[in-house]
Structure 1
Amino acid sequence: MYQDAIVEEIHKIREEYSRSFNHDLKALFADLQKQQAASGQNVVDLSQKPRLNREASS
């Protein structure tokens, strides 16, 4: 089976990051939220959802 070096590196980094929080998902999530707040940017912007245009589909 083909192994992609980039994908393998991402898996390694993800495992190291998870291990640094003892695989505690709540602590990992809290850290990601802290990083997002410090960056001043929203990772995902949910403020505007696209509206469904019912007239165009009729």
Structure 2
Amino acid sequence: MINDPIVKEVRLYRQEHAARYGNDLNRIIEAFRKKEQESGRVYLNPGPKLLQKQTT
């Protein structure tokens, strides 16, 4: 396997970030949602796409 310093740095950051929230996925997601709300940016969530009935 090739040692890529950029991949190594990203993985290290990801591990540190997860450890900040006790490696709890729910806490990590909640922190991202809070940061998203505080940013003031408009985010688009188009929701699920509905399938059209096909006539054959």
TM-score, normalising length: structure 2: 0.71
Q: In the alignment, which residue of structure 2 is the partner of 1:40?
A: 40
Structure that is richer in helix per residue: 1
1:17-42: per-residue Cα shift (whole Å, max 9, x none)? 00011101111100000011111222
Instruction: Give me the CA root mean square deviation.
Output: 1.9
Per the TM alignment, residue 48 of structure 1 is displaced from its structure 2 partner at its CA by: 7.8
Number of positions where the alignment pairs a residue of Structure 1 with one of Structure 2: 48
* Unaligned runs of at least 5 residues, structure 2: 50-56
Instruction: For structure 1, list consecutive stretches of 5 or more residues without a partner in the other structure.
Output: 51-58
Identity of aligned residues (%): 25
**TM-score between the two structures when normalised by the length of structure 1:** 0.69
